[in-house]
Structure 1
Amino acid sequence: MSLEIPLMTTDEVIELDPEQLPSGDEVLSILQQERSQLNVWINVALAYYKQRKIDDFLKILEASRVDANIDYRDFERDQMRALDMLAAYYVQEANKEKLKDKKKELFTKATLLYTMADKIIMYDQNHLLGRAYFCLLEGDKMGQADTQFNFVLNQSPNNVPSLLGKACIAFNRKDYRGALAFYKKALRTNPNSPAALRLGMGHCFMKLNNQEKARMAFERALQLDPQCVGALVGLSILKLNQQENESNKLAVIMLSKAYAIDPKNPMVLNHLANHFFFKKAAQCFEKVLKAQPGNYETMKILGSLYANSPSQLQRDIARQHLKKVTEQFPDDVNADIPAEILNNVAALHYRLGNLSDAKKYLEEALEREKSDAESLDAQYYNSIAVTTMYNLARLNEALCLYNKAEKLYKDILKEHPNYIDCYLSRNGDLARRSNVWLQTLHQPCREKDREKRHQERALAMYKQVLKNDPKNIWAANGIGCVLAHKGCINEARDIFAQVREATADFPDVWMNIAHIYVEQKQYINAIQMYENCIRKFRAQHEVEWLTWLARAQTLAGRTNAARGTLLRARRVAPHEPALLYNTALALRRLAATVLKDERASLGAVLRAVHELHRLSSGGAEAGPGGVAENAAVPAVAERARIETGAAAGEARACADLLSQAQWHVTRARRQHDEELTMRDRQREQREAFRRQQKRQQFKEKTKNALLFADMPVESKGRGGRRRRDEYESGSSSGERAADGREPKQRKRKRDGEGKKSGGKKKRERAQRGSGSDSDPPRKRRKRPW
């Protein structure tokens, strides 16, 4: 597909064949004259890169940053793309570069370009992938690369470049199964992935000791890309491991093919060198041994060569040669060992803590180097003697022989003024010596004059270190410590604050700021600072730090918290004398506080008395953690270098509290019984009140029920009267007509009156019914109903 460059004045375009590109300068001039859009510049530059015309690629991309037209929609994405392409090229070149300075320069250029792209579009997937691979290749930013790959995978779970990056990270972290899982997921997502994916799977199978699947993966990679150097090397190693002549020949053929493809590949060069060096060298020494069968040096060298051979037959030959050497020269155990080996042996002893042995080997190496310098290569042996002298000076520092160490440093600097490590170590020596003087201020029973003298010495040395190295945070922190000891609390606080601003990863300065808070009686701030420091630097098992926190909690009145902190420290160091004393002191004070508290519960008082009994008898346990107490308070105080009088006073205070314990227990028990009695009385009162409420509710419900029952009876009575009135009115219709008067309205009577009148009427009707016919009928007044 051809490339098109639109012309500015017409609708025509200039077509470029990607396979036959013209001169880069010619195309660049066209792009500048036609004011082409940035995306056209990028496509043209990419075409030149595919044709391996790197200079034209760089020239066009660099010019696009200034001359390209960005007056169109979404030009920001093209700007980011141009910067990312240029940065990716520099990362690729830095990965190939062998010179350290040049590599660093290329990585710096890439960093600058990626930072500029961040300001345009930070969260674009392709941009994040480029940055992630940059962090991965840079070496020391694998965590950042992992974070960016995870971010991309959260947005697109099947993103193949992210899966491959995660596989590389897992492989470098020796999580070969995890790496293989990422490779498999990437292959399922895109079955047409390049050969590099199969190559990675082959390496994972090799690490998992599945050589058959590794062979299949390497062969598949070669099918996809016959120029895959990694697959050729992998298959050649598998062939060499078979230890057969035919397979060895095939392995050499594969390595030779890989060398023809990439002559600078380190894996290819290493395996070819091993094969041909071993083969040619062994052949030459075999010829020497045939001419001189008893040659001592030849048998030693051949034995060493064959001892590293994968062939069992050659290893047996090596054993025979070395056996003959030891039989002919049984006293050759102290052979001439090079000075470099002696220096390395000393370094190993130093790391193991065997300082005396390390010093012996270093002195022997120094003598050997001086003698070799006189008879052999003076320049070489004098140069390695400097390293040995430097190591000897460091060893003297470790042995606290500071004067000897400083003398050696000065001797080195006279001959080699540019020896930077020597300057740094000398500053470290001064700092350590000032730390020694500062440490003496913490010793008990010190004299005031001696204390002041040590303060001045430490301050002078710290100042000298700071003068030589103005950015030395340890020296600045030491000056703050000396000022704090001298009582200049505010000045010390300012210095500690400046050090913490310079770096937040220096735990000593955090602790010193907390100490300042304690001195200023800001105990809450001190507690927060101690806890933040312990949490930040994961020092939950640092006994000294926990002790400082417990002290601040005690001064703040948080006795329970101090007890818990000290018991945590006891679990770490159960036999530390000072910690035993401090724990016992905290428990005694907590018990005293509980006993003096008149509102303390019976359980709290009994626990306090139990603690006092343990403390007074040198107890078996220090608390709920089950940590054993191994000594009484006076013994612990003596081991912790606490004054005998103070320890004896604490023991007497403990005994006094125990003598009053029975009274406190009786008082607490009496209060407990009174509280129980009061609670019982209150409970009975609540029950009685509840019963009374229920009875009242029952009465109310009964009364309401009776009222509702009376209402139907009253209604029935009214209905009966109405029916009687109707009957009476019907029977006297004649009289009503004769009389001609309207009946008067009947007044409503109360229930009692109605009942009485009803009875009276009944009696009248009875009398009428039983009377004689002569009696005239009595007129009845009609009433309306």
Structure 2
Amino acid sequence: PNNNNMATSVEIPLRDTDEVIELDLSQLPDGEEVLGILKQENTTLNIWLTLALEYYKQDKVQDFVQILETARTGANLDYPNHEKDQMTCLDTLAAYYVQQARKEKNKDRRTEYSQATQLYTMADKIIMYDQNHLLGRACFCLLEGDKMDQADAQFNFVMNQSPDNIPSLLGKACISFNKKDYKGALAYYKKALRTNPNCPADVRLGMAHCFYKLNKLDRARQAFERTLELDPTSVGALVGIALLDLNNKDVESIRNGIKLLSKGYQIDPSCPMVLNHLANHFFFKKDYEKVQHLALHSFHNTENEAVQAESCYQLARSFHIQGDFDQAFQYYYQATQFASPTFVLPYYGLGQMYIYKGDEQDRERAAECFEKVLKAYPNNYETMKILGSIYTQSDHPDKQDLAKKHLRKQGKIYSKVTEQYPDDVEAWIELAQLLERQQSTTTTGTTDGVQGALGAYGTATSLVRDRVKADVPPEILNNIAALHFRLGNLNEAKKYYEVALKRCGEESTHDEVYYKSILVTMQYNLGRLCEEMYQFEDAVDHYKNILRDHSNYIDCYLRLGCMARDRGQIYEASEWFKEALQINSEHPDAWSLIGNLHLAKQEWGPGQKKFERILKHEQTQNDAYSMLALGNVWLQTLHNPTRDKEKEKRHQDRALAMYKQVLRNDPKNIFAANGIGAVLAHKGYIREARDIFAQVREATADVPDVWLNLAHVYIEQRQFISAVQMYENCARKFKRRQDPELLLYLARAYFKCGKYQECKKTLLRARHVAPHDTSVLYNTSIVLQQLATSALQNEKSDLKTVLGAVTELELSQGYFTYLSKNGDRMKFDLNQAAKESGKCRDLLSQAQYHVSRARRQDEDERKMKEDQEREKSALREKQLEEERSRIRAQEEKMRALMEQRAQIQDKNKASMAKKMVEDEAPKKKSGGKNRKQKVQDDFVNDGSSSDAIVTKKKKGDPQGKKKRKLKTKKERGGDRQGSNDESSDEEKNPSKRSKKFSSKKQEQLSAKQKGKIKSRAYISNSDSSLSSDDNQPS
């Protein structure tokens, strides 16, 4: 080709000559003609490439493709550096196929992508690391979508060699944007713009999208506007500015946004993005025909699945709002097939369509759709509300658990709503209803949900009265009354029901049909309330009043039947239940109640047929109550005393099969688990049965049957004390102290552990509660017989015990005789009662011997007791006589001591008198006196006992005579007594005596006086020693 910058022609050298053929680029001949020239002249590959590109520029695409495809094998490669031209040929053709695949209407995309892949692979073998080659291959990987990392590596390789390479910068920006690294993408776009400020407008469009994602809306608007300045036909920029205006949500902005979309539609009427946004606009304008036209046009003009999903969604909701649910379902479903994981609106609509269909499988599909919505928007309370409602209606326990979860989430969300908008009446009502449903799905026995619902309803009613200035709707009053009923506040419930009935009467003038319908429900609720308040006549009146106007209200027939049943009027109850079956012959509740009447009368066969009829019906074939009842029937036959031993195993297997079926349908059914444990116990697997009962009691402690079964297992394991404790705990917890069945179980436990007296007391309590129960009477007779037998066989039993045993034995015989003729064959064997009566008769025939033996033994014991009493009396008399003798001896001894003391006192008095006389004698007798005093002093100092003094007196001392004379002088004796008392006081109080001695020393007493003082001190000591038992002198 010419070397001029603006080449206007191409020269093709002729083979084997120096001549050329010049082709004018402005007037290129037909492609086939040029292709023939190129082949004929064996033209080099670079000329083929130049001509092909010229044909492409002139929009002669087929000629372009034909020339390049032929050049791959027909061009002359005999010139230097032909490898690069060969690589360029392959890359150019590959780029063309990639561009064709990008066209949204292309239906052969995969084929063209495959051709492009082959061409790039062939180019790799020629020059692998050429920048243009790598850029082309990277763009191709980027467009394929699943080779983004490979494209990123190739862009990085180019940028390492040429950091300012604009195509690689734009490719990196695209990759960062798809990876949601909007800041990184913006940085690459900015670098490309700085490298070449005159780059295409699409670069600024990419920057605008980055700003939008970064929530920099003002900068995004500026970028979109700059894009429009550079390229006024940029539909992407027009749509971007339009969306910014529409999102402002003011009238002027919306009008401007629609104008921009219309302008985009004028520029490119087939742009799917513009068509979808216009369809969305006309949906809110309620012009559904335009919506369908635009969305359908968009759908057919694109192969992009995300855009197709948006088009299908617009079509679906336009049909949905017009009530064409079949078409809406079709397009919602198609939208979900095209939609990306983040576009969940079609799933919301599809879920609504499934709910509309209404059957169980469609509800499950609807739940799956809403679960996907909830996964994308976890806090969407509308979705949670719908899911909670779906799962609450489900019979599957796992779904019910999910319902609890969603209801709890809704409660939190509604709590936030009521906190932010405390005056929103509807929010408070919704919260109350959610709390009601929460309580209905819990099994913990708590009333937190009911209390919370009451509080929410209370707030709602206050807002209605105070803010809205309106009367509270009767529906809310009815709900409040029902909540009070559940809490046991019966008077409050009655008050609200009466107000609700009054409001219904007032509102019926506005909508008579509706308010009359809810009036019936309120009357029924009031009847149930009257039942609980024991106002049975009023309850009957309410039910019958409803039936006069609404004879098909089955629940009223059932309640009237239940009331008759509770009064013991079985026939009347059966008639009411049959009345209900006249209205609905397959009503499961009516058949269940009739079946229970048969079971209560132990009519197992008829009762079994009623429950089997329920299970035969298609809608109730998995009715858990009926299957449990049948299992209980088969289990009950194992307790029949006249059961067939050969059929016992078959009945066990049938009961087990029923319980297993219930457990398969509902793995958390505690009654089925309890039944399985009972069957295992009958089969002898006691340990396994105990484990099951323990697990059931851990799951819920509110089922008394589980407690009883555990106690039964304890008895089988011979843990009788534990069984007794379990029975008593059950009676205490469930307030069944007067339950004859439980009392029988307790009595049996006492009997097993040998506590016959406690067993007898327990059975007598049961007799008081159920005097006509023959099983209680039979067991009482058994215990009386056992107690009497034990008493008679015990040789140590006294006459009273034996006579009492004979009486009880006679009573037991009479009971057994009566029971053998009038007993209940379903509870015990009548023949066995007759045998027990015979045993009692045999024991009574031997009773006279036991009575005689006891009488003799009693007489012997009486005589022995009399002898023992006599011996005891004699012994007591002997002991009393010995005691009296001992007391007399003590008294004699005391008397002797007292006499001896008196004698000593008299002697002391005489001695003192003598000394006083000697002191008054003349001094001439002092010498003799001194000798006498010396003797006296020696006598006093030597005398250490009163016996020595008495001995000396008996020798005929003349002083003894004087003392006997002085003994008659009472007055002087009294003085001596006072002196003795003083001496005694001195002895008791040494400090006082020492003070006396000190004062006497100060008075310089004579030697004789000192001798007197010594004598008096000695006498005082003698008196004290003699009168140790009596401190008073005689």
TM-score by length of 2: 0.29
Rg larger in structure: 2
TM-score by length of 1: 0.37
